[in-house]
Amino acid sequence: MTEAAEGEELSEITKKTFIMNSIFGQKLINNLSHSKSTKKEVNIDYFINHINHFNNQKKDNLDKINFKKHIDSLPSNILDKIKEEAEPAIKIRNHIEPYCKKQLKLETPVSIFKKNGYHYKLVKLESHYFDLMSIIYYNEDIVGYICCGKKSNSGYNNLFIVICSKYEKDFYDKQNKKMAVISEITEEIGFYEKETYSKYLKNFRFQLFAAVLDILTEHKNLRNIVCIGEEEGGNLLQLFLIDFINNKGEALTKISDDISFYLFNYNTAILSTETFYNDLLKNLGDSSNSIITCFSDKNDAYNSWDFDENKKIKYNVIIM
């Protein structure tokens, strides 16, 4: 997608999306901090439930917003302001090896804003414990968010990426799943769910890379990236982490080597072979706490895995 032409105005739909995300995004961050301030345990449910609450608030209260009043108060040309305030800090032209042969081109802040209707440098949504950095869309649906956890007086410490994407209703009806080796990936790695990989490349890869690299470049003290995914959201974040960590080229030369990565999956089915997960764990640093796989019970997602105690993969399985 190309940059907006000089002087181009935002569409009414994008303006309304920006206003809606600002209003309900602030509620999301307030709710996250309020729950923490009341000593509730901060766990995987805590982050996942808030995206569901976000969508419920949007659905129940959307008709109460006076969009005309808010639109009239917006700057005359937001797109020009984005160009001034949010020029892309990093541009990647290299292929990502050895994981993916497909070239990565970051989207510009303008093109992402026109899709998401939010950029943290335009409107700062903050609360006592968290600041909202990005809202993750899949087509027209909000499926996740990126926020930074505050550490008293020393800026941000943790970057949280939350994606809640449910499996299709017939997902577990496919009893005999065939391994698909995809041309962009080396022959050692294949996926049971080609659709999930295709969805990641088409809908999530560019917006996640652009947002995370922008935040890490702006806030160099960040030390932990914590990914939390429900159902297919966990698979998408598995792909993002191994993709991101394996990008040792132009992008990560400007990012601290001290960053640690963590992945929490909730009711997430197996995506690929043992080779993939061994590779992912190795890239995460081989810590026993790097990957925690949670299930609401011994359900279909749980049954898709082969939890053999003799295997070296440290799944860290928890039945909640």
Which residues, other chains included, contact 188 with Cβ-Cβ below 8 Å and sequence gap of 6+? 275
3-state secondary structure of 157: strand
Is the pLDDT confidence value at 185 over 70? Answer: no
pLDDT tens column, 295-319: 999 999 998 887 766 665 566 888 8
Cα–Cα distances in Å, from 134 out to 96, 122, 161, 179, 267?
A: 24, 11, 9, 34, 24
The pLDDT value recorded for residue 216 is: 86
Query: How much is the pLDDT for 2?
Result: 36
173 part of a folded domain = yes
The whole-number pLDDT of residue 4 equals: 42
CB 125 within 8 A of CB 26: yes
The arithmetic mean of pLDDT across residues 2-29, rounded, is 75
Q: Is 97 helix (H, G, I), strand (E, B) or coil?
A: coil
Q: What is the pLDDT of residue 5?
A: 41
Confidence grade of residue 199 (pLDDT, cut at 50, 70, 90): confident
Q: Give a yes or no: residue 3 inside a domain.
A: no
pLDDT at 266 over 80: yes
Task: Kindly state whether residue 170 falls inside one of the protein's structural domains.
Answer: yes
Domain encompassing residue 139 = 12-319
Residue 131's pLDDT is 92
Structural domain includes residue 105: yes
Confidence of residue 286 (pLDDT cuts 50, 70, 90): low
**Is the confidence at residue 97, as pLDDT, over 70?**
no
Tell me the range of 17-21, 233-237, 258-262 where mean pLDDT is highest.
233-237
Q: What is the mean pLDDT of residues 213-217?
A: 85
Task: Provide CB contacts within 8 A for 59, sequence distance 6+.
Answer: none
- Range scoring the smallest mean pLDDT among 48-62, 86-100, 110-124, 139-153: 86-100
CATH of the domain at 76: 3.40.50
The pLDDT of residue 229 is 95
This prediction has a pTM of 0.85
Is 57 part of any domain? yes
Across 90-94, 220-224, 243-247, least confident range: 90-94
Number of domains in the chain: 1
* pLDDT over threshold 70, residue 212: yes
Per-residue pLDDT tens for 32-49? 887 655 444 556 777 887
Q: Which of 182-191, 263-272, 302-311 has the lowest mean pLDDT?
A: 182-191
Instruction: Report if residue 2 sits inside a domain.
Output: no
Please check whether residue 20 lies inside any domain of the structure.
yes
Any domain includes 7? no
Q: Is 16 helix (H, G, I), strand (E, B) or coil?
A: helix
